[in-house]
Amino acid sequence: MQGRLGGTGKLVILPVDQGYEHGPARSFAPNPEAYDPHYHFQLALDAGLSAHAAPLGMIEASADSFAGQIPTILKVNSANSLAREKDAPSQAITGSVQDALRLGCSAIGYTIYPGSDAAFDMMTDFKELSEEAKAFGLAVVLWSYPRGGDISKSGETAIDIVAYAAHMAALAGAHIIKVKPPTAHLELAAAKKAYEANGIKIDTLADRINHVVQSCFNGRRIVVFSGGEAKDLDGLFAEIRQLRDGGANGSIIGRNTFQRAKPDAMAMLDTIIDIYKGKA
């Protein structure tokens, strides 16, 4: 119910965990104001966004100044690009449910890597964290990013793999599921047979988004899609329209937002919100 999309069933969330994942210069040097955690809170507020997601330190540095002004999602696990990732990518637990409660957060966020040789441990940790979060009335957001094991690079965004990862997130008890927009590639031979035999439409991005939403209990769970690497505005807006047309509940857009100067980011988010409202 927060922000300009409140009451529409749509969400636009600002996630800022890229400092862990990619390092400070790769994340914030294009827009040096973004080194300051307060910048992201204020940007999310000024743009009328639905929520802000960040790791422990960023929320701790800002929670007292922005208490109660916007729902926050504490990202409770993180990876980094210095670690070796091959067959068994994983993440360290870097925050807790108690941290989320202390900081006035509305939800916790967690990442699993379906396909990784470490995926079962990540799922087990998520079960324990989500059980505690739900006991205290916090929502649970699950980033479900297939990688590792035998999954190819193109398979990480293949429609059968993304739909499978989203479905696993729903089965694991997530309230909000975050996945990447899928391509038309089919990774698994057995899945390809099922898609072809049952005439599952995957030609357009909107078709594929519809199938991912269907895979999350036929739309009974909230599904949002990542923005990925920074891209030109025309490409971004075209993608958002396809997400909307496919029935996505919204977008969670980090680098495409905070790597732009604030006036440019505000204008971009204004258009994205209008797209989800059906006005653009």
Mean pLDDT by 10 residues, the chain (280 residues): 96 97 96 98 98 98 97 97 89 98 98 97 98 98 97 97 98 98 98 98 98 98 86 92 98 96 98 97
Q: Helix, strand or coil for residue 77?
A: strand
Which residue carries 């398979």 as its tokens? 155
List residues with catalytic annotation.
178
How many residues does the structure list for the chain?
280
In this prediction the pTM is 0.96
At residue 230, the pLDDT reads 62
Query: Looking at the chain, which runs of residues are DSSP E strands?
Result: 11-15, 51-54, 72-75, 77-78, 92-93, 107-112, 139-144, 176-179, 222-226, 250-252
DSSP lists the bridge partners of residue 176 as 141, 222
At 224-249, the pLDDT tens digits run 999 866 679 999 999 999 999 999 99
Side-chain half-sphere of 2: how many Cα atoms within 13 Å?
A: 19
**In the CATH hierarchy, which top-level class contains the domain 11-276?**
alpha beta
Number of H helices, E strands in the chain: 13, 10
Q: In b/e form, how buried is each residue of 86-108, taking b as 16+ CB within 10 angstroms?
A: eeebbbeebbbbebbbebbbbbb
At residue 227, the pLDDT reads 82
Return all residues near 157 (Cβ < 8 A) that are at least 6 apart. 180, 181, 182, 183, 185
Q: What is the DSSP letter of 251?
A: E
At residue 228, the pLDDT reads 66
At residue 229, the pLDDT reads 67
At residue 131, the pLDDT reads 98
Contact 51, 70 (CB under 8 A): yes
Name the packing angle between helices 159-171 and 205-215 (round to 10°).
Answer: 30
Give the amino acid at 35: Y
As a whole number of angstroms, the distance between CA 27 and CA 54 comes to: 13
65 to 36, 68, 75, 224, 230: CA distances (angstroms)? 13, 9, 19, 28, 29
β-strand 92-93 against 11-15: which pairing, if any?
A: unpaired
177 burial class (0-12, 13-18, 19+ CB within 10 angstroms)?
Answer: buried
Give me the torsion for CA of 134, 38, 222, 10, rounded to 10°: 140
